[in-house]
Amino acid sequence: MTDTSTTETPRGADVAAAAATHAENTTKRALPSWLTGGSGVARYAVIIVWALMIALYGALLPDTFLNAGTFATILGSQQALVFLAAALLCTIIVGEFVDMSLASNFGLAAILVPVLTVNHGWNVWLAAVAAVVAATAVGVLNAWLVVKVGVNTIVVTLGMGTFITGIALWSSNLVPVAGLPREFSQIALYKILGLPVSFYLGLILMLAFAYLLAFTPLGRNMRFVGANREVSRLAGVPVTRIRFLAFVAGGAIAGVGGVLTAAASGGYDPSVSHSYLLPMFAATFLGTAILQPGRFNPLGTLIAVYFLATGVLGLQLLGGTSWVSSVFYGGVLVIAVTISTVLSRRAR
């Protein structure tokens, strides 16, 4: 896979294509052409590794790993990450590199629901709406600073994230707040076919996002704005509006994710928000190695989320403690970005 000649990218269609297929040709000449053509193998590599990982854990832990409960846990526990990764994709797709404030914004929405309901006596549904509005407002503020004023994205969102983490901690007096009404938790926990409804909401979100990008003019405009703003502007795309709305949509999606997370656990601990930051990046970047190599894509990201959850859960069942997730998420982030860099260089 890592023949040195693949790092050289000459000009010309045939040459580039030849360079791209070269690695597969030399190592696996006997494979059929649909596998060797383009990035056929690379596209499914993570999925194959996922299957191998499941088989390995199954062999090592036939009783604890290979049962329906494990898979229900993996599929039913990652909603926060799915929503955060979708929010991150909004800004990445339109070429704003990373919105660092998303995890904090998610935490703000998640803590506002119990704080307003339990500490301030609001109606829980009203509190939920207020939480989403607050997260969206943070998105608007980011958008205004980055898109209209032109401040650097990373500086604005990193500062904003730290700022609203502080606000969230202040609003809860630095302690976890719990005690949301049971019927409210049904928006996240209501079971359909053995899995919580929030799993399906995350699935629908990612599928709709993928559809938007692949088939609709809006999605194509978003991708072109990300690829080249000037090209898009000259073709009549409202570039500023699309960049602005990407930040707003990111904030809103993070807010909804936060509300669902608070509903699922009946409350929230505002000091854990930052722990979502790295898994969010790991999943989103690993997603660039799946299905559409070298590109950020929602379905690849969705698969990456469950790939990571499988890996962490298996290691925990094998006896790893809290260090496991740091090692796994951190390691995968570095490996995923490396793979993605190599793949996009080959596609060039």
Partner 1 sequence: MAQHQEARAVTPAPPAPRLRVASLNKTFGDNRVLTDVRLEVAPGELHALVGQNGSGKSTVAKILTGIYTPDPGASVEIDGRALDLPVLPQESRAHGMAVVHQSLGLVDEFSVLENMRVGRLRGSRFTRRIDWERERQEAEAVFARIGRRVPLHAPVGSLLEEDRATVAIARALQDATPGTGLIVFDESTRALSRRSLEHFFAILDEIVATGTSVLMITHRLEEVVGAADRVTILRDGRSVVSGREVGDMTEAELTSLILGRNLGDLDAREHLELGPDTPSIAVDGVTGLAVRDVSFTVRRGEIVGLTGLGGSGYDDLPYLLAGASRAEAGAVVLPSGRLALAGLDSVAAIDAGIALVPEGREHSGLAMHESVAENIAFAQTARAGSPLAPVSRANELALVGEWFDKLGVVPRKPHALVNTYSGGNQQKVFIAKWLATDPTFLLLHEPTQAVDVGARHTIVEAIHAMAETGLHVLVAGSDENELALLCDRVLVFEEGRIARELAGPCSPDDIVEAIYAGGSRAQLRPRGHGAGAPRPSGAASEGHA
Q: How far is the CB of 300 from partner 1 (least distance, A)?
A: 16
Residue 60 or 227: which CB sits closer to partner 1?
A: 227
Phi, psi of 188 (to 5 degrees): -110, -35
Residue 148 or 348: which CB sits closer to partner 1?
A: 348
Q: How far is the CB of 221 from partner 1 (least distance, A)?
A: 6
Residue 126 or 231: which CB sits closer to partner 1?
A: 231
The string of DSSP letters for 15-82 reads: HHHHHHHHHHHHH-TTS-HHHHSTTHHHHHHHHHHHHHHHHHHHHH-TTTTSSHHHHHHHHHS-HHHH
Q: How far is the CB of 3 from partner 1 (least distance, A)?
A: 9
Residue 95 or 161: which CB sits closer to partner 1?
A: 95
Residue 138 or 248: which CB sits closer to partner 1?
A: 248
Residue 173 or 344: which CB sits closer to partner 1?
A: 344
Phi, psi of 100 (to 5 degrees): -75, -10
Q: How far is the CB of 27 from partner 1 (least distance, A)?
A: 12
Q: How far is the CB of 305 from partner 1 (least distance, A)?
A: 25
Dist CA 335 CA 339 (whole Å):
6
Helix then strand then coil, % of the chain, to nearest 5:
75, 0, 20
Q: How far is the CB of 143 from partner 1 (least distance, A)?
A: 19
Q: Which candidate, 303, 277, 292, places its Cα nearest to that of 53? A: 303
Element (DSSP H or E) covering residue 149: none
Encoded tokens for 193: 């076919």
Q: Which candidate, 18, 93, 71, places its Cα nearest to that of 313? A: 71
What is the contact surface with partner 1 in residues (CB under 8 A)?
Answer: 5, 8, 10-19, 21-22, 25-26, 212, 215-218, 220-221, 223-224, 227-228, 230-237, 344, 347-348
